[in-house]
Structure 1
Amino acid sequence: MGCRAARRLYKTLGRRGCFLAIAGVGKTCWGISFLVDPPNDRGLRLLTEVCNLRHWSWLWIVAGIVTFCSAFLPIGRDKIGFSVAIVPPTVWAIAYTAAVASGQYSRGGFVALWYLTSHCGVIAWASTVPEYSVPRAPRPARRGKAT
């Protein structure tokens, strides 16, 4: 029963939708973790000068919810999910880059690169993945006797 439901869900979502659903849940959970127990703000001073990390957590939560919901949209309309999904890691990468440039957090360069590659890069790549893969090449005709 569970496998049938999983297959139906996968068929409904497709490859791009599955990615958006997983990314949406991840972003929402990441945002909730900032809301429940905010970490120290090392390297995020650019953000915390505007408001505290509990407020910034809502950027992740809302982006995650929008990303998750866009997983159920038809192909072509799911672009909103990819566009919104890339915003929070970009903001964090900018904050960490600014921390490195100002000399506040030397490790921030590595964290910024991590956000840019494992988040922004993967999201940008996934947005270009076609929904359906190219079908396999047809098998060559079998040799037989001509009649």
Structure 2
Amino acid sequence: MVVDPPTTTGLQLLTRMAPLHCWAWLWVLAGCVTTASAFLKIGRDRYGFVAALVPPAVWAIAYLAAVMSGEFSRGAYVAIWYLTSHVGVIMWAATVPEHSVPKPPRTRRAEGG
């Protein structure tokens, strides 16, 4: 990726605003927020799910815009892939109930010992 970066075909909406390496930081930042949120108490990790949704949603929108503008006709397949394999899975994961691990029972000391 560093030596031979991928093409920006279909990402013109994004590359008009900033170079692709700047957009890569969106993925890094979202990953850091998502990772940090994983260590929060149950029910407080919603910001991690929101952060995880942002990069693939932005990429899907960029590819859909490229399809609608005629710049990249095959972008519809890529947008559908991001919307199903990324956005859809994250949204499903956000609905899975979480359960906390119960505390281990307290052991009683042996009397007379």
TM-score normalised per structure 2: 0.83
Q: Specify the alignment match of 1:130 in structure 2.
A: 97
Structure 1 segments unaligned to the other structure (5+ residues): 1-32, 133-147
Superposition CA RMSD, Å: 1.0
Identify the structure with the greater helix proportion. Answer: 1
1:88 pairs with 2:43: no
Residue of structure 2 equivalent to 1:118: 85
The runs of at least 4 aligned residues of structure 1 exceeding 3 Å deviation read: none
Whole-angstrom distance in 1 between the partners of 2:39 and 2:76: 35
Cα shift at 1:60: 0.2
For 2:78 and 2:26, how far apart are their aligned partners in 1?
19
1:69-111 Cα distance to aligned partner (Å, 9 max, x none): 1110111110010011000000000000000001110110000
What's the secondary structure of 1:104's corresponding residue?
coil
* Separation in 1, partners of 2:10, 2:42: 37
Unaligned runs of 5+ in 2: 100-113
Kindly indicate whether residue 69 of structure 2 is the aligned counterpart of residue 102 of structure 1: yes
CA distance in 1, matches of 2:21, 2:98: 36
Percent identity, please: 63
